[in-house]
Amino acid sequence: MTVSTTATTVTTGGALPGGEYDVTVVGAGVVGAAIARELARLPLRIALVDASDDVGDGTSKANTAILHTGFDAVPDSLESRLVREGHRLLSAYAAESGIPVEPLGALLVAWDEEQAAALPGLADKAERNGYRAARIIAAEEVRAREPELGPGALGGLHVPGESIICPWTTTLAYATQAVRAGVDLHLNCRVQKVTSGATHTLATSRGPLRTRHLVNAAGLYADEIDRLLGHADFAVTPRRGQLIVFDELARDLVRHVLLPVPSALGKGVLVSPTVYGNVMLGPTAEDLDDKTDTGSTAEGLALLREKGRRILPALLEEEVTAVYAGLRAATGDDDYAIRAHPAQRYVTVGGIRSTGLTASMAIAAHVVELLADGGLPVAGARELEPVRMPNLGEAFLRPYRDAELIARDPEYGRIVCHCERVTRGEIRDALASTVPPGSPDGLRRRTRARGGRCQGFHCGAAVRSLFEEART
Amino acid sequence: MSRDRTVDVLVVGAGPAGLALAARLAGAGAGHVEVLEREQDAGGVPRHCHHGGFGGPVRPWLTGPAYARRAVRAATAAGATVRTGVSATGWAGPLTLETTSPAGPERITARAVVLATGARERPRSARLVPGSRPAGVLTTGELQQSVHLYGQDVGRRAVVVGAEPVARHAVRTLRRAGTEVVAVVTERPRAAAVPGVPLLTATTVAELRGRGRLSGVAVRHEDGRCGVLACDTVVFTGDWIPDHELARRGGVALDPGTRGPSVDASFRTSTAGVFAVGNALHGVEPAATAAAEGEAAAAPILARLSGAPWPDAGPPLAVRAPLLWVAPNRLKDLGGRPMLLRSDEPLTAPVLTAAQDGRLLWRRRFPVRATPSRSMRLPAGWTDRVDRSGGPVVLAVG
Ligand SMILES: Cc1cc2nc3c(=O)[nH]c(=O)nc-3n(C[C@H](O)[C@H](O)[C@H](O)COP(=O)(O)OP(=O)(O)OC[C@H]3O[C@@H](n4cnc5c(N)ncnc54)[C@H](O)[C@@H]3O)c2cc1C
Ligand SMILES: Cc1cc2nc3c(=O)[nH]c(=O)nc-3n(C[C@H](O)[C@H](O)[C@H](O)COP(=O)(O)OP(=O)(O)OC[C@H]3O[C@@H](n4cnc5c(N)ncnc54)[C@H](O)[C@@H]3O)c2cc1C
């Protein structure tokens, strides 16, 4: 099946096109999609393939959605540099493309003497990461900034540059722009084997695909793809992060991203608003063996509730909208595992653990440089046609409130999903978009439909019906 | 640009409660009575309840859709305006609602606003049921709409979670759709079984399993036994929560027990001019109860329209476990209507007490068996003894 409108190509089944691609990117997460978009600027034949029926369906759909400054990265690491650059690049791109971002700032809250004692070190680390706006504040200011905070906060570090962002729209914007610029997107296309010579031949679940250069952005599976090409320099351990999303009516309880003071065990549990107007609590950090285990557990949820009760007691009284889990691609190393193998015309983008959303555009630019080292012709880069994504952010004008838009097209005044106020016009647009959803969940990530507090009690059947209708 | 309009009474929600109220008010000459309904069709939940049991046994029992049609006809025949496809999305003033419809945004100001927004079932996520996130996880509301309004496929084998009467409706709807019902599961120690379906009591849903589509429900019995029920559909039933978004966004005080707007016996909320009726107050009761509340609210609303003052807040009415909630739950207006009282545990001939500031106001044995899925009706006569400037009045068993 090939959806080909105005020369864009997104395939979801059947044999793959023949001939040779100049570059193929395996993995259409936020990282792979960013790389494909960056490559799309070049006059080359490019493919982006993913095993799933949608883009951004792996780790990229299930994170804490923070646009990090990189203030707490390991100084002088590749991650530190790419997060810092990525923050700048994605901030600008978001503004241009309509990706919702809210610059709320973060507050690291110290709950005991040890944590309070760690704040100056963190402020210093921020400086070493080139971030100069972080400031230690006293307990009174912490309380003034966050009146609903639980008792006992001893002080905090204010990091004004931290923002919240829509991770779904980000991946989708990259993929949309890449596809419109001529990149072929092949979904339901799992890479099973790679045979390398003058070209790489990928054996996929949809038949062979030939490509001269290869980028491995397979997230949790980047180590496995790497082994297919004879490399074994890192192994990915899925580190699960469970999260609880509270109802939009909880949004007024919190004003900043509330970060814990990091410990040896990782970044810890945070409380953060989302751009959709919810409040999120999480994530846990559990090392697993199973790269598909994105389930939540009773213990994980109990732990989150216990931590959350300390941070923001009133939050626990609110209704829960959703529970989910994401898997970070941990490698046991403190940095990204981005490795170039120029002789093989191959770049691995592995170990993009907990900052890949933020760093995505900088990773992409870095990877194209590495590909050039492997002989990829990078002359003739052009500006891409800008994209303008539908707005999912609550802080910006949503279609149901837009009088002019509704006057032009009454379908934007017909609310289908009542909790999230998603209109029939938006659902129609998403179903007909450049990268259409592969499932009702994909439709939810494009519109928020069925993502609210009732989880479909009111609108589930109607939304499913619109989805099915568009497929037939 | 939003348009601004004014009406006499604005009712949000065209379910049994809102429609019954609108019919009564319009019939009594309350002026321009407008009912807003966000769905394409008016009638509320009964629209998708394709079973009998609506209305009252005096008249013949009606099916949900027939009952809904009748309620809509009665309201419009009395002169009320029922507008469908119009969502009330927020407030622009104490008695001004913002709405969205295909005709564009509007601001509607009323002399009295009534919240009749109904209730819904808590979904799996709100119940914190762990596991994967497969397709095939529904509430009764979604199940009924899928089957009765959209003719959708709901799977081959289903597990129903819950023991309230609505679980029986879920079983019936599943069977109508040709789905085998594997079991009804409830945490309660006892529940009424549905003929032909295994009933697992004292059993919790420990985990949902399956990628893409649900493959099974892991359950754990109180005695420690565990198992997995293979199924591709699970329906979470009951566990109601009022649709209280508008109330909260408007700053209307909620009752901690019901989670609906806190009201007095005249359905007055904490905001002058704002009333609330029906399931929005307390979660699901029979449609006749919701409609009766709507009808009973007409008189106090008419009084408000003719200038009656909004009385000061009196003491709140609270409950102690195992009682869950009482509605109405403010004592500022000591009406004669009975109150609805819910218990979390079955009680046989309970002795109920009401006390205020340590003073026993009332005590009476109830010669009935109270179950967690049905409200008791509490007579209101004793409320004369309440000190209107005193502390909270607490209802307890004992
Ligand atoms: C709990 C949690 C919180 C996080 N919070 C943040 C945050 O606040 N801010 C931030 O910047 N980052 C955050 N992250 C990190 C961020 O989500 C990741 O770094 C990012 O999503 C990684 O993207 P990716 O494209 O590398 O991987 P993925 O999104 O997993 O994409 C990899 C893709 O490869 C595909 N694939 C795999 N194998 C094959 C194959 N053999 N053939 C074809 N396709 C294949 C998969 O289907 C998948 O779509 C968080 C992560 C987690 C888990
Ligand atoms: C599955 C199920 C089975 C049932 N079976 C029976 C039975 O057999 N017999 C019986 O007597 N009762 C039954 N009931 C109960 C009965 O349906 C309810 O008591 C009755 O519908 C409550 O009426 P209501 O007007 O309070 O709320 P609802 O019927 O829920 O109506 C509320 C209306 O408000 C609308 N609304 C909400 N918010 C807005 C907004 N912001 N803007 C515009 N419109 C809005 C909603 O769309 C809805 O139509 C059942 C209920 C359920 C859920």
Express each pLDDT in B315-342 by its tens digit: 999 999 999 999 999 987 666 788 999 9
Longest dimension (CA), chain A: 66
Q: Which of A98-112, A145-159, A257-271, B182-196 has the lowest mean pLDDT?
A: A257-271
pLDDT score at A264: 67
pLDDT score at A415: 98
Give me the total of CB pairs closer than 8 Å, taking one residue from chain A and one from chain B: 117
Grade residue A216 by pLDDT with cuts at 50, 70 and 90: very high
Contact A456 B100 (CB under 8 A): no
Q: Does the structure show a pLDDT above 60 at A2?
A: no
How far is the CA of A436 from the CAs of A52, A174, A207, A412, in angstroms?
13, 14, 23, 19
Q: Does the structure show a pLDDT above 90 at B383?
A: no
Closest residue by CA, ligand 1 atom 27 = A219
Q: B272: CA distance to ligand 2 center in Å? A: 25
Contact A295, B129 (CB under 8 A): no
Placement of tokens 């990782």 in the chain: A266
Ligand approaching nearest to the C-alpha of A30 = 1
Nearest CA in chain B to A297: B130
Report, as an integer, the average pLDDT of A207-235: 97
Torsion of CA A431, A63, B235, B257, to 10 degrees: -120
pLDDT score at B335: 65
Report, as an integer, the average pLDDT of A424-432: 98
Buried b (16+ CB within 10 A) or exposed e, A364-402: bebbbebbbebebeeeeeeeeeebebbbbbbeeebbbbb
Q: What are phi and psi of A434, to 5 degrees?
A: -55, -45
Q: B284: CA distance to ligand 2 center in Å? A: 8
By C-alpha distance, which of A347, A346, A21 is closest to A186? A21
B58 Ramachandran zone, left/alpha/beta (phi>0; psi -120 to 50): alpha
Asked about A231 being catalytic, the answer comes back as: no
Contact B233, B155 (CB under 8 A): yes
Which of A68, A87, A186, A256 does the annotation list as catalytic? A68
Contact B130 A465 (CB under 8 A): no
Report, as an integer, the average pLDDT of B17-23: 98
Q: Does the structure show a pLDDT above 60 at B84?
A: yes
Contact B349, B366 (CB under 8 A): yes
pLDDT score at B2: 63
- Burial (0-12, 13-18, 19+ Cβ within 10 Å), B398: exposed
Say which amino acid occupies B357.
Answer: D
Say which amino acid occupies A241.
Answer: G
Q: Does the structure show a pLDDT above 90 at B134?
A: yes
Report, as an integer, the average pLDDT of A145-165: 97
Contact B341, B375 (CB under 8 A): yes
Pairwise CA distance, residues B278 & B360, whole Å: 30
**What digits encode the pLDDT tens for the residues A171-199?**
999 999 999 999 999 999 999 999 999 99
Nearest CA in chain A to B240: A454
Using DSSP, state whether A129 is helix, strand or coil: coil
Non-local (6+) Cβ contacts of B326 within 8 A are B257, B258, B317, B318, B319, B339, B340, B341, B342, B378, B395
Pairwise CA distance, residues B170 & B194, whole Å: 11
Pairwise CA distance, residues B17 & B44, whole Å: 9
H helix or E strand, kind and range, residue A215 = strand A207-216
Placement of tokens 């590909």 in the chain: A371
**What digits encode the pLDDT tens for the residues B144-188?**
999 999 999 999 999 999 999 999 999 999 999 999 999 999 999
Q: Is the pTM of this model over 0.95?
A: yes
pLDDT score at A266: 65
Reported ipTM: the value is 0.96
Q: Which residues line ligand 2 (CB under 6 A)?
A: B 12-18, 36-39, 44-46, 49, 51, 53-54, 87-88, 116-118, 140-141, 144, 166, 169, 243, 246, 278-280, 284-288, 290
How far is the CA of B195 from the CAs of B168, B170, B190, B199, B230, in angstroms?
10, 13, 15, 9, 20
By C-alpha distance, which of B228, B213, B207 is closest to B134? B213
